[in-house]
Structure 1
């Protein structure tokens, strides 16, 4: 009877840890998407610095896979989001440095999330091992009672 209660407790604990792991995996995916977006913007600005044309032509996405042709009037500055709905103008070098800092913050958050996920997976493995041991003991108990 005690082993049955122990199995129920392990199953409950396992479900809780699985839910936590799923949330961490979703968070990791969102962090990775955010990081990749910052990386793409950084690379775009770095490439813009290399353009020699005074007013280069670009394609501006307007949605549904559609674009408008436009010209960049000021290729020395960019307006970058600083969060909470605010954006500021920075020269390209400062904008790239700012984006690199944000990318590093994302990398740190991703590393912490991956570590937490690894720990949870280890805990899940331990719980599964304990449950298997209890099942083996129960199976051996049933075979002896014949």
Structure 2
């Protein structure tokens, strides 16, 4: 942000607004990725629990909005997993677990990158705020110096 001190305050305000919009967009993405990471965590915990469940066991499964349905577990040795682009495949528990662990690791890396981007944008916003504040103080000081005593 070299040369920022010489910039027009209006240009700095515009840059700040753009950075603010970018920060809001990044924050929305961070929220969505965090939800996906949490979802992967739930799936991995469920897969771990399936090892202890016998076929034919009656369980409650979520169907949305805090509602559940009772169902009997027909098979516990395979899971249908979304592998992307709307494609789902049936995989053994171990393979499904590996797919979900890989997905979770990728999401966590994206989460970290987005947080780093957010920190960078915040830093840029703070730099602009400091320059604008300094410019305002200088203008006030000049204005006070011109007032007759």
TM-score tier by shorter-chain length is over 0.9
Alignment TM-score, normalising by the size of structure 1: 0.92
Q: Which shows bigger deviation, 86-95 or 62-71?
A: 62-71
- Aligned twin of 2:19: 17
Per-residue deviation, residues 44-79 of structure 1 (Å, max 9, x unmatched): 01111122x332211122334332211111101100
Per-residue deviation, residues 1-30 of structure 1 (Å, max 9, x unmatched): xx9x71111110100000000100000000
- Aligned twin of 1:59: 60
State the Cα RMSD in Å: 1.6
- Aligned twin of 1:28: 30
Give 4+ residue runs of structure 1 displaced > 6 Å after superposition: none
Number of residue equivalences: 143
Cα distance in structure 2, aligned partners of 1:101 and 1:92: 14
Residue 93 of structure 1 deviates from its aligned partner by: 0.8
Residues 60, 68 of structure 1: 8 Å contact kept = yes
Cα distance in structure 2, aligned partners of 1:48 and 1:34: 21
Unaligned runs of 5+ in 2: none
- Aligned twin of 2:48: 46
Q: Which shows bigger deviation, 87-96 or 56-65?
A: 56-65
- Aligned twin of 1:78: 79
Cα distance in structure 2, aligned partners of 1:64 and 1:16: 37
SS in 2 for 1:50: coil
Alignment TM-score, normalising by the size of structure 2: 0.90
Residues 55, 75 of structure 1: 8 Å contact kept = no
Cα distance in structure 2, aligned partners of 1:136 and 1:66: 59
Cα distance in structure 2, aligned partners of 1:135 and 1:64: 52
- Aligned twin of 1:106: 107
